[in-house]
Structure 1
């Protein structure tokens, strides 16, 4: 999730991406994403195993910001909101 192109980034794990993004977009979850206005789904990965997804989350959270931006731009160079693609 991001608040704008090259802006603040939020990374998390969920078993229901569409529902979770809806919560973030509508400010239903207090915390970092609400405080910084991270309402745009600009990148996501699907995993079959929740533990694998959590390991990947922790790995990416340790990355330098530039690496995270490269990951987003490789799949979504225009930083389009991908929320509609979930349906």
Structure 2
């Protein structure tokens, strides 16, 4: 099973970190659905700026928690490491 850990950039320039088994569908939900995460309300649309895959939900949850604990600057370094 593939589980994605992802970071999206919001319209207000904030960053949101999440996990999903279906990244494409989750991004659509963030931008088009009433099932939007509470922390994203009023910050739409979002744009995917980073993603990575993990083999298990447990691994993905640990990584999501790790990234969420970081300050913005460290998240930006991770995002910019792709470019």
TM-score (norm 2): 0.78
Tell me what 1:71 maps to: 78
Q: How does 1:9-28 map to 2 (within 5 A)?
A: 9-28=15-34
Tell me what 2:41 maps to: 34
Gaps of 5+ in 1: 78-87
Judging by fraction of residues, say which structure has more strand: 2
Whole-angstrom distance in 2 between the partners of 1:64 and 1:28: 29
Query: What is the aligned residue count?
Result: 75
Tell me what 2:67 maps to: 60
Whole-angstrom distance in 1 between the partners of 2:54 and 2:69: 19
1:47 aligns with 2:63: no
Whole-angstrom distance in 1 between the partners of 2:15 and 2:52: 15
TM-score (norm 1): 0.75
Give the 3-state SS of the residue equivalent to 1:18 in structure 2.
helix
Q: Give the CA RMSD over aligned residues.
A: 1.8
